[in-house]
Amino acid sequence: MADDRLLAAYPRQPVVRDRNFSGLVHWAGYTASLPIPEERPTEDWVRLRIVAERLPTQAQNYVERTLSFFLQDPTTVTNIRQFLNPWNDEGTEVALSAQIEGIIGSFMPRFARFDVSDAQIDAWYVSHGFDAPGAPIEPAEPAEPDPMTRRRK
Protein backbone atom coordinates (compact mmCIF):
# COMPACT_ATOMS: atom_id res chain seq x y z
CA MET A 1 0.00 0.00 0.00
CA ALA A 2 1.22 3.47 -0.81
CA ASP A 3 2.22 5.84 1.93
CA ASP A 4 -0.68 8.18 2.81
CA ARG A 5 1.72 11.13 2.76
CA LEU A 6 2.56 10.38 -0.88
CA LEU A 7 -1.11 10.08 -1.81
CA ALA A 8 -1.83 13.38 -0.04
CA ALA A 9 0.99 15.05 -1.99
CA TYR A 10 -0.38 13.86 -5.35
CA PRO A 11 -2.93 16.65 -5.97
CA ARG A 12 -0.44 19.39 -4.99
CA GLN A 13 2.43 18.44 -7.30
CA PRO A 14 2.88 20.56 -10.45
CA VAL A 15 4.30 17.56 -12.36
CA VAL A 16 1.14 15.57 -11.60
CA ARG A 17 -1.07 18.41 -12.78
CA ASP A 18 1.00 18.79 -15.96
CA ARG A 19 0.76 15.09 -16.79
CA ASN A 20 -2.97 14.98 -16.05
CA PHE A 21 -3.51 18.13 -18.14
CA SER A 22 -1.76 16.51 -21.08
CA GLY A 23 -3.66 13.25 -20.69
CA LEU A 24 -7.04 14.98 -20.42
CA VAL A 25 -6.39 17.18 -23.47
CA HIS A 26 -5.27 14.16 -25.51
CA TRP A 27 -8.38 12.21 -24.42
CA ALA A 28 -10.63 15.14 -25.33
CA GLY A 29 -8.99 15.57 -28.73
CA TYR A 30 -9.43 11.92 -29.60
CA THR A 31 -12.98 11.66 -28.25
CA ALA A 32 -14.18 14.88 -29.91
CA SER A 33 -12.74 13.74 -33.26
CA LEU A 34 -14.80 10.54 -33.36
CA PRO A 35 -17.51 10.73 -36.02
CA ILE A 36 -21.05 11.21 -34.78
CA PRO A 37 -22.96 7.99 -35.44
CA GLU A 38 -25.74 8.08 -38.01
CA GLU A 39 -28.03 6.30 -35.58
CA ARG A 40 -28.91 8.12 -32.38
CA PRO A 41 -25.95 7.64 -29.97
CA THR A 42 -26.47 6.52 -26.40
CA GLU A 43 -26.73 9.08 -23.62
CA ASP A 44 -23.39 7.86 -22.23
CA TRP A 45 -21.75 8.50 -25.62
CA VAL A 46 -23.25 12.00 -25.71
CA ARG A 47 -22.06 12.75 -22.17
CA LEU A 48 -18.49 11.84 -23.09
CA ARG A 49 -18.73 13.88 -26.30
CA ILE A 50 -19.97 16.94 -24.41
CA VAL A 51 -17.13 16.70 -21.87
CA ALA A 52 -14.59 16.21 -24.68
CA GLU A 53 -15.88 19.23 -26.60
CA ARG A 54 -15.76 21.62 -23.65
CA LEU A 55 -12.65 20.31 -21.87
CA PRO A 56 -10.04 22.16 -23.98
CA THR A 57 -11.50 25.56 -23.06
CA GLN A 58 -11.67 24.63 -19.37
CA ALA A 59 -8.69 22.30 -19.09
CA GLN A 60 -7.30 23.60 -15.78
CA ASN A 61 -10.76 23.31 -14.24
CA TYR A 62 -10.99 19.69 -15.37
CA VAL A 63 -7.50 18.94 -14.05
CA GLU A 64 -8.60 20.16 -10.62
CA ARG A 65 -11.95 18.37 -10.72
CA THR A 66 -10.53 14.99 -11.78
CA LEU A 67 -7.54 14.69 -9.40
CA SER A 68 -9.45 12.53 -6.94
CA PHE A 69 -10.56 10.22 -9.75
CA PHE A 70 -6.91 9.58 -10.59
CA LEU A 71 -6.26 8.75 -6.93
CA GLN A 72 -9.11 6.22 -6.87
CA ASP A 73 -7.37 4.14 -9.53
CA PRO A 74 -5.12 1.32 -8.28
CA THR A 75 -2.55 2.13 -10.99
CA THR A 76 -1.94 5.55 -9.44
CA VAL A 77 -1.72 4.12 -5.94
CA THR A 78 0.66 1.34 -7.00
CA ASN A 79 2.95 3.69 -8.95
CA ILE A 80 2.60 6.80 -6.79
CA ARG A 81 6.36 7.40 -6.57
CA GLN A 82 6.71 7.48 -10.36
CA PHE A 83 3.70 9.81 -10.66
CA LEU A 84 5.24 12.23 -8.14
CA ASN A 85 8.74 12.11 -9.62
CA PRO A 86 9.51 15.02 -11.99
CA TRP A 87 12.82 13.37 -13.06
CA ASN A 88 11.66 10.03 -14.47
CA ASP A 89 13.58 8.64 -17.42
CA GLU A 90 11.94 8.66 -20.85
CA GLY A 91 10.78 5.04 -20.65
CA THR A 92 9.02 5.67 -17.33
CA GLU A 93 7.36 8.80 -18.73
CA VAL A 94 6.06 6.87 -21.75
CA ALA A 95 4.69 4.19 -19.42
CA LEU A 96 3.06 6.81 -17.19
CA SER A 97 1.45 8.45 -20.21
CA ALA A 98 -0.11 5.14 -21.24
CA GLN A 99 -1.25 4.54 -17.65
CA ILE A 100 -2.84 8.00 -17.51
CA GLU A 101 -4.74 7.28 -20.74
CA GLY A 102 -6.06 4.07 -19.21
CA ILE A 103 -7.01 5.78 -15.97
CA ILE A 104 -8.92 8.51 -17.83
CA GLY A 105 -10.70 5.92 -19.96
CA SER A 106 -11.71 4.14 -16.78
CA PHE A 107 -13.13 7.07 -14.80
CA MET A 108 -14.39 9.42 -17.50
CA PRO A 109 -17.79 7.73 -18.03
CA ARG A 110 -18.42 8.01 -14.27
CA PHE A 111 -17.23 11.63 -14.22
CA ALA A 112 -19.35 12.55 -17.24
CA ARG A 113 -22.49 11.14 -15.59
CA PHE A 114 -22.37 13.83 -12.91
CA ASP A 115 -20.75 16.57 -15.05
CA VAL A 116 -23.35 16.64 -17.84
CA SER A 117 -27.00 17.33 -17.10
CA ASP A 118 -30.00 15.71 -18.77
CA ALA A 119 -30.91 19.12 -20.23
CA GLN A 120 -27.46 19.36 -21.85
CA ILE A 121 -27.91 15.89 -23.35
CA ASP A 122 -31.35 16.84 -24.71
CA ALA A 123 -29.92 20.04 -26.22
CA TRP A 124 -27.07 18.08 -27.85
CA TYR A 125 -29.51 15.62 -29.43
CA VAL A 126 -31.67 18.42 -30.81
CA SER A 127 -28.73 20.48 -32.10
CA HIS A 128 -27.38 17.41 -33.92
CA GLY A 129 -30.67 16.44 -35.56
CA PHE A 130 -31.83 13.73 -33.17
CA ASP A 131 -35.08 13.78 -31.21
CA ALA A 132 -34.59 14.57 -27.55
CA PRO A 133 -34.90 11.61 -25.16
CA GLY A 134 -38.48 11.06 -24.09
CA ALA A 135 -39.86 12.93 -27.10
CA PRO A 136 -43.20 11.52 -28.16
CA ILE A 137 -43.01 9.20 -31.12
CA GLU A 138 -45.36 10.34 -33.85
CA PRO A 139 -47.55 7.56 -35.18
CA ALA A 140 -47.14 6.71 -38.86
CA GLU A 141 -50.86 7.15 -39.47
CA PRO A 142 -53.47 8.98 -37.43
CA ALA A 143 -54.97 6.63 -34.90
CA GLU A 144 -58.67 5.91 -34.96
CA PRO A 145 -60.44 7.37 -31.95
CA ASP A 146 -61.12 4.81 -29.28
CA PRO A 147 -64.90 4.47 -28.99
CA MET A 148 -64.56 3.74 -25.27
CA THR A 149 -62.91 7.10 -24.55
CA ARG A 150 -64.97 9.26 -26.95
CA ARG A 151 -66.93 11.98 -25.18
CA ARG A 152 -70.64 12.22 -25.64
CA LYS A 153 -72.02 15.43 -26.99
pLDDT digits (tens, 9 = 90+) for 92-118: 999 999 999 999 999 999 999 999 999
The whole-model pTM stands at 0.84
Q: What percent of the chain has pLDDT over 70?
A: 84
pLDDT digits (tens, 9 = 90+) for 9-22: 999 999 999 999 99
CB of 141 closer than 8 Å to CB of 62: no
Mean pLDDT score of the chain: 90
